[in-house]
Amino acid sequence: MLPFRGHDESDDTISRGLFIETLSLIREHNENDESSDVSKKEKMAMVLRYVDRLGVVKERFIGVVHVTDTSSLTLKATIDFVFTENKLSMTQVRGQGYDGASNMCGEFNGLKAFILRDNKSTYYVHCFAHQLQLVMVVVAKNHDGTHDFFEQLDLVVNVVCVVCASCKRKDIIRESYKKRLQTKIGIGETETGRGLNQELSLIRA
Q: Which of 14-18, 24-28, 179-183 has the highest mean pLDDT?
A: 179-183
Mean pLDDT of 72-100: 87
Bridge partner residues of 51 (DSSP): 57
Domain boundaries, the chain: 1-35+128-205, 42-126
> Which one has a higher pLDDT value, 41 or 31?
41
CB burial of 38-75 (b: ≥16 within 10 Å; e: otherwise) equals eeeeeeeeeeeeeeeeeeeeeeeeeeebebeeeebebb
Reported as a single tens digit per residue, the pLDDT across 108-123 is: 888 888 898 888 888 8
> Which one has a higher pLDDT value, 58 or 140?
58
Mean pLDDT of 49-69: 86
| Confidence (pLDDT) at 34 | 38
Give me the torsion for CA of 111, 113, 117, 118, rounded to 10°.
30
CA 160-161-163 angle, to 5 degrees, is: 65
Rounded to a whole number, what is the largest CA-CA distance in the chain?
73
Binning pLDDT at 50, 70 and 90, where does residue 157 land? confident
Q: How far is CA 188 from CA 9, 10, 185, in A?
A: 18, 18, 5
